[in-house]
């Protein structure tokens, strides 16, 4: 298998094509960086604990939050490895979004979303009033996570809704191997570790 290698995750029985789901987002939040006190278009997930969700809506708040660590002989997934830390003090709200290594090109995230989306359709407002807005809804509270930023590549990929209930989403790209090999050969072993949050949807 020649490089680059594209890594996808697949979900089944997730109905992103449902009309209520597809319209439950705020265009002003995503494009104009305007966080309104009234985001009725995000119903039924427009607020949580009397605060406006940022980002709001069903699309954002059903975000696929699992993380994958890929090993090839030594290391592919990069210089950030939360699973390697066993002290139990990991702050997932800060580190959960950092599972990539764009610099070394072993586990790339920056190129997974469309350029048009990156430049024009998804932006993030850094200065927002925490007293009136929150990046944690009911699901994120259970998971111990925050909602992704609206310019996060994983979020952008997730927000392009699919027409079918079974679909794949591009998650990472491998453009380089630690041993400078240009392809994966027969007999090479990839070790995939999954840190799973999504099953909390059933709790």
Domain boundaries, the chain: 5-202
- The residue length of the chain stands at 203
Q: Is 2 helix (H, G, I), strand (E, B) or coil?
A: strand
Confidence grade of residue 125 (pLDDT, cut at 50, 70, 90) = confident
The mean of the pLDDT values for the chain is 84
Question: Which is more confidently placed, 195 or 61?
Answer: 61
Nearest 5 degrees, angle CA 38-CA 40-CA 45?
A: 105
Instruction: Say what the pLDDT of residue 84 is.
Output: 47
Instruction: Say what the pLDDT of residue 109 is.
Output: 92
- Which of 122-131, 148-157, 170-179 holds the top average pLDDT? 148-157
Residue-wise pLDDT for 53-108, tens only, equals 999 999 999 999 998 888 776 555 544 444 445 445 467 777 788 888 888 888 89
- What span, in angstroms and rounded, lies between the C-alpha atoms of 130 and 126? 11
- What span, in angstroms and rounded, lies between the C-alpha atoms of 38 and 52? 8
Instruction: Say what the pLDDT of residue 74 is.
Output: 52
Residue-wise pLDDT for 22-52, tens only, equals 999 998 888 877 776 666 788 889 999 999 9
Asked if pLDDT for residue 192 goes beyond 90, the answer is: no
Q: How many CA atoms lie within 13 A of 103 on its CB side?
A: 5
Instruction: Say what the pLDDT of residue 15 is.
Output: 93
- What span, in angstroms and rounded, lies between the C-alpha atoms of 32 and 129? 16
Q: Compute the Cα dihedral for 11, 29, 144, 104 and give only its sign.
A: positive
């Amino acid at each position: 298998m020649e490089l680059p290698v594209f890594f996808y995750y697949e979900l089944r029985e997730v109905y992103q094509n449902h009309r209520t789901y597809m319209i439950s987002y705020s265009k002003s939040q995503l494009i104009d960086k305007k966080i309104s006190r009234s985001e009725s278009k995000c119903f039924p997930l427009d607020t949580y604990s009397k605060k406006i969700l940022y980002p709001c809506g069903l699309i954002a708040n059903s975000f696929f939050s699992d993380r994958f660590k890929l090993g090839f002989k030594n290391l592919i997934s990069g210089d950030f490895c939360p699973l390697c830390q066993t002290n139990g003090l990991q702050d997932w709200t800060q580190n959960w979004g950092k599972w990539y290594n764009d610099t070394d090109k072993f586990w790339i995230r920056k190129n997974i979303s469309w350029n048009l989306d990156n430049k024009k359709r998804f932006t993030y407002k850094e200065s927002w009033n925490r007293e009136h807005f929150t990046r944690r809804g009911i699901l994120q509270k259970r998971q111990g996570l925050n909602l992704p930023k609206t310019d996060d590549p994983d979020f952008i990929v997730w927000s392009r809704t699919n027409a079918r209930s079974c679909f794949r989403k591009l998650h990472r790209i491998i453009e380089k191997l630690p041993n400078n090999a240009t392809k994966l050969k027969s007999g090479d072993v990839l070790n995939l570790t999954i840190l799973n949050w999504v099953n909390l949807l059933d709790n």
